Chains A and B, each alone.
Chain A
């Protein structure tokens, strides 16, 4: 019997059935799957080659040949959105990975040790939270140079305290529980208990927070590439497409419409997924919604 089963007592199949019965989860799942599939398909096929500039075809309004129109270099906007999805997803996903990878151990460690370790972590959190995240991300990318990698690092750093805080709060609530006391009485060390008992039981919280941070990461990446500090041309990115669209909005408003909707749908999908997950995973919260 696994430790997570101690508390939830349900199988993967019954969980999936419950999850898909939840409207938020279902809608979020469908939207995020669509976006993910779109990004994956772009590796194999896009309607047009996004690296080819065909000036003769520039600034065409949406038509059967170009569903979302073409940009000022004659590139197909739909193809660019498909390729741009890769960039957004990759940046946000790795940033969440950095946040989880460093934040969760920190939070668990602080909760297990308590006292000074805990105090230091909380003050570290205060410090990071005092820097408006976007300002610092702009500073970091501006200092170390623009580009997808630095955008990942800049966004990732601000995910660390978020996950540390969630992991700490989740673990603190578990440490006084009987099954943890039993494990301690059995002579297990704190590190082992954290890995075997705490982590499986805070996985829910981390998963929900993960989807939220994923969505925020997509927004942050779009903001950074909009101001020219994210992925660099010719790599298409949604934020950059919006920047290029701004000066041409009077003649070609569609250039600003489609990349914007791509961002909104992705973020919306992830938020719905996160909402659905927290409803399904935490019945106490479900009561309030």
Chain B
């Protein structure tokens, strides 16, 4: 078990290091000089030279990478070219929107998907199963940004229950801030819930065919108990795997959803930074998201051992 954790940990770190090289070199080949971009086309050569020196752009490539990468370790992501503030400040300011959004969406999607999956599996082949699986088939096909538009039309334009977009900030109070996040969270959550419900159902059906389920039933344990305690617990591994993958989807999904709702989150930050060629911000945010995905997947791998005692012994 310890060896397994250690191996996963090492792989995670190695992936992170290679990812940082990829991100750095990808943005290095971008056409356009950040210094020229900041000063405009009328800048004198002297001014350009001075700024390039100040920004460290005159240093050799490898040196700049090492400087940037070692900064990452201390959460020093450099300074934004356009905002002239440390990138970490921008991230801190925006993450308080994106992270709650992703977490609310993840909780919502799990809370919907698991009961639907279990319900569907327990009524396999009956009309209730056909209807709910038909609905998930539809849910998987809906692009979240289109779903978001429909939600805005129904709940903001038509019923006027929630704002159509924008974010008042947490300082305006928890409730106004939460209401601004509800529609985006639903838009993110439902398509993910559809996928998760399907996975839960098929994984559960597989488990329900096992001998130990028949044994439990034969012993006279009520079906409901067998379903929720014996079967679901064993069916959770694929579900948890998909949950981990969905976290990455949600993080990336926020980019488009934040643009639909004009939410000042990480996604909008990185999107604006890309269009403004503020590469150091892009690098910082991308590395943060990549690190988050790696950590979550590591936790998912480790959680297998918690869910399934057999893996604890074997690995």
- Taking Cβ atoms with an 8 Å cutoff, the residues of A that contact B are 123, 126-127, 129-136, 138-140, 142-143, 215, 219, 222-223, 226-227, 239, 242, 245-246, 249-250, 253, 256, 259-260, 263-265, 267-268, 271-272, 275, 287-289
Contact = CB atoms under 8 A, between A and B. Distances in A.
30 contacts: A123-B15, A126-B15, A127-B22, A129-B297, A130-B15, A130-B16, A131-B19, A131-B293, A132-B290, A134-B249, A134-B255, A135-B289, A142-B274, A143-B29, A227-B259, A246-B149, A249-B152, A249-B153, A249-B157, A256-B153, A260-B142, A260-B149, A263-B146, A267-B140, A267-B143, A268-B141, A271-B140, A287-B209, A288-B202, A289-B202
Contacts of B140: 267-268, 271
Contact of B206 (A132, A227, A288): A288
A249 B149 contact: yes
A242 B145 contact: yes
B106 to A, nearest CB: 14
B19 A130 contact: yes
Contacts of A143: 26-27, 29-30, 274
A139 B255 contact: no
Contacts of A253: 153
Contact of B143 (A142, A222, A272): A222
A256 B11 contact: no
B250 to A, nearest CB: 9
Contacts of B289: 132, 135
B260 A127 contact: no
Contacts of B251: 132, 135
A82 to B, nearest CB: 19
B253 interface: yes
Q: Is the interface of A mostly helix, strand, loop or mixed?
A: helix
B187 to A, nearest CB: 13
Given A123-B14, A134-B255, A139 B137 contact: no
A138 B253 CA distance: 11
A130 B153 CA distance: 35
B253 A134 contact: yes
Nearest to B121: A288
Contacts of B145: 222-223, 226, 242
Contacts of A245: 149
Nearest to B31: A143
B228 interface: no
Contacts of A250: 157
Given A139-B274, A142-B274, A245-B149, A130 B293 contact: yes
Given A135-B286, A289-B202, A263 B143 contact: yes
Instruction: Please give me the 8 A-B residue pairs with the lowest Cβ-Cβ distance, nearest first.
Output: A132-B252, A267-B141, A142-B274, A260-B146, A268-B141, A134-B252, A135-B252, A132-B248
A123 B11 contact: yes
Interface in B8-62: 11, 14-16, 18-19, 22, 26-27, 29-30
B14 to A, nearest CB: 7
Contacts of A226: 143, 145, 256
Nearest to B157: A250
A127 B15 contact: yes
A268 B142 CA distance: 8
